[in-house]
Amino acid sequence: MKVKMISRNPDEYMRETKRDIHKVKRNYDPSLHPLESAREYVRALNATKLDRVFAKPFIGNLEGHKDGVSCFAKHPTSLSYLCSGSYDGGIHVWHLPTRTSIRSFVAHEGYVRGITYTPSAEHFLSVGDDKTVKVWKSQTDELDDIPVNTILSRTILTGISHHRSESIFATCGEVCSLWDETRNEPLKQLKWGVDTLHSIEFNPVETSLLASCASDRSIIFYDVRDANPLRKMVMTHRPNKISWNPMEAFNFTVANEDYNLYTFDSRRLKRPVKIHRDHISAVLDVDYSPTGKEFVSGSYDKTIRIYNAHKEHSREIYHTKRMQRVTCVGWCLDNKYIFSGSDEMNIRLWKARASEKIGALRPRERSALNYAETLKEKYAAHPQIRRIANHRQVPKYIYNNMKKHRIINEKEKKKEHNRRIHSKPGAVPFVPETRKKVIREHE
C-alpha cells in the first residue's frame, strides 16, 4: 500500500523570529477565491470612497504680491522656481519648496503682461504696459535688480513667448513681432488686420509655429520662417488664451470668453475636436500637463478645473472661499502640482491629483494604490461608484449657475426643436454644436 498525506512542516510557513516578516504562501487558483467579482466591486467602492476622503488638493499659497497676479513663467530646468508678475509691475521669483519669495522688484510701470524664461534658464524676459521688454538675470547676487537689457518697443506689448530652443522670442500687441535676444530691433513684424493681439504661444514641438489670440475673436497662426501669417480663424467669442499640447504637436486648446474651452486639431480648423464645458464664466487661462493628457483652466468664476484633453466635462474642480478671479494657471513640469494666480494677490499651489499622497511611497503602498486604481477603473461605470467619484461639493453660486446654464442650454435645444417641427422640413437643419463655434477661416 502506498499512502501519502498532506503534512506540512510548520517551519516552512511560520517566521522564525518576531523580527522576520510573515511567510505568505500564495495560491492563485480561482476556486480558492470565491465571490471574486463581488469582492472586487466592494473594494472598488471603498477605494472610490477613500479617494474622496483623502481629496485635499490645496497645498499652500505664495503671499507677497501687492496687487493681483497677472502672469507666470515656469522655470524650464528646475522644479523649485516660479516667476510671477502682477498688476502693479512687480515681479517675484519664488522658491517653491520653502514657499518663499527669494527676489522681488518692480519691473514695469503698470501691468506686467508676460514673463518667459529663456531655454537655458539664464535669463527671463518680461513685458509690461510701459512698452518695454526687459531681460533679467535669473540668478543674481546683487541686491538691487537692474535689467540686463531693456528694449523699447514702438507699439504696446501684451504678451511674450520664447522659442523652445533658439534665441528667438515673440511679443504680441498691435503686431506680432519676432525678436532676437541679441538685437534691440525686431527681426520681423507680422500683421493681419488691424486688431490687437493679447496672447501668443510658441508651439513646443513644431518649434517654429506660433499662435496668437486677437481681439477680433480670431486666432492667427504664424511661422517664424515665413514672411506672412499662415492662417486665421474667427470664432463666435473672443479666445483668451491658447495652449499647445506638448505631446501632440498639432493639437491646441483655447480658453474662450463664452465659458467653454475648445480643443482644435490645427490641421482642421473648421470645427473643434472637443468642446469642454462646465465653467460658468469666461475662461481666462489654460495650461497643458507635460503628459499632454490633461489640462488645467482658470476662470473668472473663481474656480480652477482640470479636464481630460478628450473629455467634455471636467474631472476636477478646485475652489476656496478666498480665491477670487483666477487670472493665470500653470501645470508643474513634474506633472504633480498646479499653480494658480488670482486677483486677490495670491498664488496657490494645488495637487494635480487631489487625493494623491505626497512623498515617497513604499513598494507595498504603491502596489496597493495601483491595485485600487485598477479596480476603480474596472468598476467605474457602476452607478454607485460613478456617483461617488463624480460628486463635488461646490459653492452655492457655482451650483446654482451650473443649474441655470443647464436650463438655458435645454431651452435653446427645445426652442430649436420647436422651430424645426413648425417649419417646412429641411428649413431648420441639424447643425452640430461644434459647427457653430467657428465662423470662418482665412488662408
Partner 1 sequence: MTENVDTKAAKHFAGCEIKVEDTKFSGEVIEAEQKPKHFRQKRNKQKKFKIDPDALQRHSRGPAVSETGVKTNLFKRKLKQKEIYLQFSNEQAARTEILRNEEEGFMEAEEGECTAEYTQSQIVQNVDITSAAKRFNLNLGFGPYRMKYTKNGRHLLIGGRKGHVAAFDWITKRLHCEMNVTEEVVDVAWLHIETMYAIAQKNWVHFYDNQGTELHCVKQMNSVNRLEFLPYHFLLASGNEVGYLCWLDTSIGEMVSEYNTRLGPVRIMCQNPTNGVLCLAGSKGVVSMWSPSTREPLGKMLCHPTSISSIAVDPKGTYMATCGLDKSVKIWDVRSLSGPTIEYKIRMPAQHMAISQKGLLSLAMGNVCEVHKKPNYVSPSHAYITQKCDDFIHGMQFCPFEDVLGVTTRKGFQSLLVPGAGEANFDALEANPFQTKSQRRENEVRALLDKIPSEFIALDPAAIGQVDVPTFKEKIDAKKQLLYLKPPTVDFKRANKMKGKGGSANTAKVKKIVKNAKKREFVKEMKGIKQEIFREHKVQSTESAEDKPKHVLDRFKSKKRS
Residue type, 122: E
- Nearest CB to partner 1, comparing residues 35 and 152: 35
Instruction: Pick out residues in 258-277 that bind partner 1 (CB under 8 A).
Output: none
- Nearest CB to partner 1, comparing residues 27 and 182: 27
Query: What are the strands, taking DSSP E only, across 191-342?
Result: 197-202, 209-214, 218-223, 231-235, 239-244, 251-256, 261-265, 274-276, 283-288, 294-299, 304-308, 314-318, 326-331, 337-342
- Nearest CB to partner 1, comparing residues 4 and 424: 4
Which triple of cell numbers denotes residue 65? 504680491
As measured in angstroms, the least distance from the Cβ of 3 to partner 1 is 5
Which triple of cell numbers denotes residue 212? 496668437
Binding residues with partner 1: total (CB under 8 A): 37
Q: Which stretch binds partner 1 (CB under 8 A): 3-11, 76-84, 162-170, 298-306?
A: 3-11
Residue the block writes with cell 513685458? 127
As measured in angstroms, the least distance from the Cβ of 5 to partner 1 is 4
Pairing of strands 149-152, 157-162: unpaired
- Nearest CB to partner 1, comparing residues 408 and 439: 408
The reply to whether 143 sits near partner 1 by the rule CB under 8 A is: no
- Residue pair 116/161 in contact by the 8 Å Cβ criterion: yes
Which triple of cell numbers denotes residue 252? 491646441
- Nearest CB to partner 1, comparing residues 30 and 97: 30
- Nearest CB to partner 1, comparing residues 242 and 375: 375
Instruction: Pick out residues in 6-65 that bind partner 1 (CB under 8 A).
Output: 6-8, 10, 12-14, 22-43, 46
As measured in angstroms, the least distance from the Cβ of 30 to partner 1 is 6
As measured in angstroms, the least distance from the Cβ of 46 to partner 1 is 6
As measured in angstroms, the least distance from the Cβ of 249 to partner 1 is 17
Question: Residue 375: CA atoms inside 13 Å, Cβ hemisphere, count?
Answer: 23
| Sign of the torsion formed by the C-alpha atoms of 50, 358, 82 and 105 | positive
Instruction: Pick out residues in 380-399 that bind partner 1 (CB under 8 A).
Output: 382
Measured CA to CA in angstroms, residue 365 lies from 321, 356, 362, 375, 441 at distances of: 33, 12, 5, 15, 52
As measured in angstroms, the least distance from the Cβ of 155 to partner 1 is 43
Measured CA to CA in angstroms, residue 302 lies from 85, 190, 330 at distances of: 19, 35, 15
Instruction: Pick out residues in 354-383 that bind partner 1 (CB under 8 A).
Output: 379, 382
As measured in angstroms, the least distance from the Cβ of 248 to partner 1 is 15
- Give the interface with partner 1 as residue ranges (CB under 8 A): 1-8, 10, 12-14, 22-43, 46, 379, 382
